[in-house]
Each structure stands twice: as C-alpha cells, then as structure tokens.
Chain A
Amino acid sequence: MIEKFATLKAVAIPLDRGNVDTDAIIPARFLKTIKRTGLGTGLFHAWRFDENGTELPDFVLNMEPYRSGKILVAGENFGCGSSREHAVWALMDFGIRVVIAPSFGDIFYNNGLKNGLLPVRLAPGEVRALMDGLKSGPGGEVSVDLPAQTVTGPDGAVCGFDIGSFPKECLLQGLDEIALTLRLEGEIERYERNGQKKAPWLFLDL
C-alpha cells in the first residue's frame, strides 16, 4: 500500500556517494523476514556499524542531527542492484521519505513509488549544489513539494522535478493500485481471449 505523500520540510542527509547499491542499503542477511516492518535496524548496516555492532561515528547517519533526517541526498545510480523492496522498507522504517539523486536504479525507483518513498531526480549540477550546501552547512532543511514538483534547498534555491502524473496521484491520495487495475478486468479478459486464439502456446498451463 502506498503511504500518502504531499509536502515535507526536514533535515536532509548528504550521502555523497554514487552507485549506492541495494546490498549496501540492506544486506542480504536482513532479508529473511516475511514482514515489511522492522528493517530500519539493518539500514546501511555495514556503514553504520563495525563487526561488533558498535556505531561508526563518522558515518553520516550516526551524526546529529541526521539521525532524524527524513530526506536523503545521494549520488548517481542510487538503489542500483537487486530488486529487494526491503531497501525501500528499510529507508522508510528509519524515517526517510524522500531520496534526491541525479539517477536511480529503475527497480528501486518503482519500488519507492509503490510504498510512498518519493524518489526525486534532479540534474547532476543541482544535486551537486544541494550536496555541497548541506555539507558546508550541516543540518540544513530541505523542502519537497510534490503538488508543485519542487525541491527548495536551505539557501532558498528552487529546483523543479519530473514525476509521472499517475504515480503522483497515487502518492497524493495513497491509492491502492491493484484495486484500480482490477477495475480493468474486462479488458484483461478480452486480451486473454484474443491471445489464446492468436498465440495459444502462451497459455499452456504449468
């Protein structure tokens, strides 16, 4: 189910790394749950903790005021790698609702939208400026406005972002996408009837 999202003003966490993969976001050994909750403890586990489970003080999420940050600003290709939706669940469980990056792994991007974690693509230069601003002025707050499709940095600089009209609606209203698709049952059935005539081998039962 999609958790509603409209606007958010919060401390933004600068995670100045590219290609942050889903194994880094949530290592495989934390995926053995059959639930969606409680994954926040595993978030960035290898970067947050040493082998004994002690916090590593120089990792950004272990610093104040970032522990309660709700917006993550990262480098290109964020969320590349595996399809594990646990990555999104872990971020949300930690309290993060927005990730801003120049680009995302495609599956991660979709997974975010389906849960109410807003992935925001900005131009590489815009992310760079935002990142540098947050690093030189730690604790800066960023505003994200989904209806207006804008991000406002601590310095007041405003950047626009793109998002599909349908996922935007789903996020704003917290819609159940499956229920919406099920309304198209007639069309799906029609497709199947035609398909069975045209390419019956596609409908062999396993």
Chain B
Amino acid sequence: MPTIIRKIWDRHVVTERPDGVCLLYIDRHLVHEVTSPQAFEAMRQAGRKVRRPLSLMAVPDHNVPTSTDRLDRIEDPDSRRQIEALRENAKEAGITLFDMDDVRQGIVHVTGPENGLILPGITAVCGDSHTSTLGAFGAVAFGIGTSEVEHTLATQTLWQTRPGEMRITVGGATGFGVSAKDVILAIIAKIGAGGGTGYAIEYAGEAVRRMSMEERLTICNMTIEAGGRFGMVAPDETTFSYLKGRPASPGGALWESAVADWKTLPTDPDAWFDREETIDASRIEPQVTWGTSPEDSLPVTGVVPDPETHPDPRGRERRERALRYMDLRPGTRLTDITVDKVFIGSCTNARIEDLRLAAKVARGKKVADGVTAMVVPGSGLVKRQAETEGLDRVFLDAGFQWRLPGCSMCLGMNPDRLKPGERCASTSNRNFEGRQGPGGRTHLMSPMMAAAAAVAGRITDVREML
C-alpha cells in the first residue's frame, strides 16, 4: 500500500537509527561551482577520498557569463576562481565535468535530465535547492547544503528524516495559453511558501499525466518554493520514451529490466498520504507574481492586492513591505505594469519546449522600445536544438538577445543582473528582494507570458496575443 515516495525511500535505506533517522544511499550526485568548493577542500584537509566518483557529474552554471566571449575571459576573478576550483576538484577526484566549452554544459538541473543521468526510482542530490526538479522522473531528489555535499562525497550516503507525504492532485486540463508554470504558481499561491515544509509532494491527476517531461520538470522545480523537501511525478510511458536512448540511460536487456521495475513504482491505489490537496487545472489562468514571495501570485486579469484586506496584521505588514519594494500601488491592474527587462531562462523554464512556446508568441513581432529582452537556453544541447529549429532566428528577428547557457539573470551572481529599481518579467522561480540583482524587481510568469510582456512592454494577458 505504499506511496511512490515511500517505495523509493525504503529501497535506499542502508540502516535506520532507533530515532527513525535513515542512512539513505545516494545514487546520483550533481555538483556545481558555488556550493562544492568548501566540501572538496574539507575532504582534502581530512585526507578523505570521493567514494564513488563515477556517480557524480560536475558542471559550472551559476557564475558563467552568457556572452559569446566567455571562453576567452571571465572578468570577475572570484567567479573565475570558483570555476577553476570546480575543474581542479573534478579532475583530481575523477569526476565527469561538462566544462564551459562542452555542448552538454548548462544549468545543472537541465543538463542532468537531458543526458539521462536521472532515472525513475533513484535518489539524487545536488548542493542546490532546485534539485527538486529531478523528481519529475519519479525519483527522490533534493537539495542539500555544503556539509551534506561533503558527507555524500565521502560516504555516498546521507542521514535523513522521513518526510511527510503529500499528494497534490491536479484535475482536468489546462486551458488555452496556460502552461505548467501557471499550474505550479497557482499551487504555491494556494498552499503558501511554507505550505510544503517537511513534506515530499507527489503531483498526480489527469493534468499531470498529460504533461510532457519538460512540463513535469517545471512543476517539480518549484516544489521548493512551497517549502517542499522534494516533489515527484510517477513514471509512465512519457518518462520511458523520454529516457530511451539518452547517453546515460541503461541500454539493451538492462533497459527492459529497468522499465519492468519502474512500472512497479507508482503509488498503490489504496495508499494513504499525510495530506491531500486538489486543484482544478481548467480554472487556472495565466499567473503573474506581484510581490516578493512566489506565493504572491495572481491571475493576470487581477489587480495588485490591498494590504488592508489581509485578515492578519503580520500579513498586512508583509504585503505593505512587498508593495514598497516592488513600487506598486493597491488596485493597479497587473496588465498596467510596465517592464524594463525580460528574462526567458533558468532551470524552471529554459528547456526546448519553453523556448518553442516563447517563440510562438514572439514570432513576427518586435520587442517593445526601451525593453531589453534576453533568451538564455538551459544548456548547450537545448541551444543547438533551438537553432536547428530556427528559434534563435525568431528571437533575434524580434529583437531578443540569444545568449549562451547558464543560470544568467535568475540570480545576481554573474554579469546578467538587474540594476536597482529595474522591473523584470522573468520565467525564473524566485522573486525575492534582490534576487536578480540588488534593488531589482521581479515578476514571475511563464515563457509565453514573458514573451508577451517583451512585445507589449508591460505585463500582458498572452491569450490576447495568441
């Protein structure tokens, strides 16, 4: 009667302590340059070796510039040092590295899946909170801090408490102009930024079953924005056909036995969850965030909320603060908000389908005067595919920048940043204060909505443009 969460968990328990904390075996470990150097350094100091280097993949993504001259020079010496440290650490330990000149380089949560590194039923970790993305294959995948990166490097295991188990059932079918991003933003608005704390979340229901792997990755990606420990979707034919023939996927007879095993993973019909939520996909409209938490999301047809209407004084204060930071007045229609920048990218929305959707909106149109719009593919492979399909031309002709893969303007760490006071329509996952650069203002939305905002120069209901 177990859930998929429990089935995968139980398979990975090396030993369980009397207090119920489990030593979990970790199958896959991905590392990037920001959260790993201190872990490798501590390993060296303690004289420890990486236990299973061939279970790891390393890729630089957060710091890398997205300009075409990045192989010749990275201006910032600190960024350069982190990327070099990753290179040296990978080399010393014998870890596969997708370096900056490798077509497989990209955002860790994009490049891992497309190379077949993430399979149903596995445990996967990375020193990055959006590791929850990888649960889309029906895997237990979660973000960890640097101390846990070190623990995994040294032991191939982690001590973990069992999560609470939550199921979110998305019924019905999404409407015209509505994408996976809108579904997950609506879910977070419903359960809150702390609503999933302590839980593993299985996304189920008709709408999820219908989703492509790309869409499922988008949904699972933002699980962490609801505080969830990890998110997952049960594997099915969509999963299997996505994985078949990927470089690191099992082949031949091994593939057959793997698929047979994966078919036993889905939650049993009579399984019991600690918590159940449902949401009707057909009622979800394109979403936009107005505030500084991913839970501050509304249908694009809405208006900026009035803090006074919040029932609780602390909620009122938080909203007031958010509106001050965002420089917005209650009652303003969301579609009256103008933007300076548009960012289409990040591990939430920089896969090929995301770019196809954005290109559908941008095709034959022009980016509005005064707006800088950029498209940053999630990986070199996504970029190549998009170029094969001519999507780069669509974007370039419309006046978008077409850049090299990386985290880019998702976080203010590499040269792509907002200036203080700039307002951005962004397909990323966090609208925290200063996330895209100090003083920058972020409105989260789908790739289609962001492309529409670029063309109109303000937040726009994409359904009117399709």
Tell me whether A and B are bound partners.
yes
Measured CB to CB, the residues of A under 8 A from B are 1, 16-19, 21, 23-24, 27-29, 31-36, 45-46, 51, 75-77, 80-85, 88, 103-107, 110-111, 114-115, 164-166, 177-178, 181-182, 184, 187-188, 191-192, 195, 199-202, 204-206
Q: CB-CB < 8 A to B41: which residues of A? A: 34-35
Instruction: Report whether A84 and B35 are in contact in the complex, using a CB–CB cutoff of 8 Å.
Output: yes
User: Given that A81-B430, A82-B128 are known contacts, is A31 also in contact with B34, CB under 8 Å in the complex?
Assistant: yes
Instruction: Report whether B412 and A107 are in contact in the complex, using a CB–CB cutoff of 8 Å.
Output: no
Instruction: Report whether A178 and B155 are in contact in the complex, using a CB–CB cutoff of 8 Å.
Output: yes
Instruction: Report whether A110 and B145 are in contact in the complex, using a CB–CB cutoff of 8 Å.
Output: yes
A164 to B161, CA, bound (A): 10
**Chain B nearest CB, measured from A19 CB (Å):** 5
Partner of B122 from A28, A82, A202 at Cβ < 8 Å = A202
User: Given that A110-B145, A181-B155 are known contacts, is A191 also in contact with B25, CB under 8 Å in the complex?
Assistant: yes
Instruction: Report whether A206 and B193 are in contact in the complex, using a CB–CB cutoff of 8 Å.
Output: no
**Chain A nearest CB, measured from B53 CB (Å):** 9
**Chain A nearest CB, measured from B325 CB (Å):** 10
Instruction: Report whether B151 and A24 are in contact in the complex, using a CB–CB cutoff of 8 Å.
Output: no
A106 to B194, CA, bound (A): 10
A184 to B158, CA, bound (A): 12
How big is the B interface, by class?
35 or more
Measured CB to CB, the residues of B under 8 A from A are 14-15, 17, 19, 21, 23, 25, 27, 34-35, 37-38, 41-42, 46, 48, 54-57, 62-63, 76, 78-79, 81-82, 85, 96, 117, 119, 121-122, 127-129, 131, 143-148, 150-151, 154-157, 159, 161, 193-194, 197-198, 224, 227, 229, 248, 250, 254-255, 257-258, 261, 293, 314, 318, 321, 411-413, 420, 430, 432-435, 438-439
Partner of B261 from A21, A107, A199 at Cβ < 8 Å = A199
Instruction: Report whether A195 and B25 are in contact in the complex, using a CB–CB cutoff of 8 Å.
Output: yes
Q: CB-CB < 8 A to B63: which residues of A? A: 32
Partner of A80 from B151, B193, B254, B433 at Cβ < 8 Å = B193
Instruction: Report whether A46 and B14 are in contact in the complex, using a CB–CB cutoff of 8 Å.
Output: no
Closest A residue to B79 using CB positions: A32
Instruction: Report whether B25 and A83 are in contact in the complex, using a CB–CB cutoff of 8 Å.
Output: no
A45 to B439, CA, bound (A): 11
Closest A residue to B45 using CB positions: A1
Q: CB-CB < 8 A to A199: which residues of B? A: 121, 258, 261
A205 to B314, CA, bound (A): 51
A9 to B394, CA, bound (A): 63
User: Given that A27-B412, A85-B147, A182-B155 are known contacts, is A18 also in contact with B439, CB under 8 Å in the complex?
Assistant: no
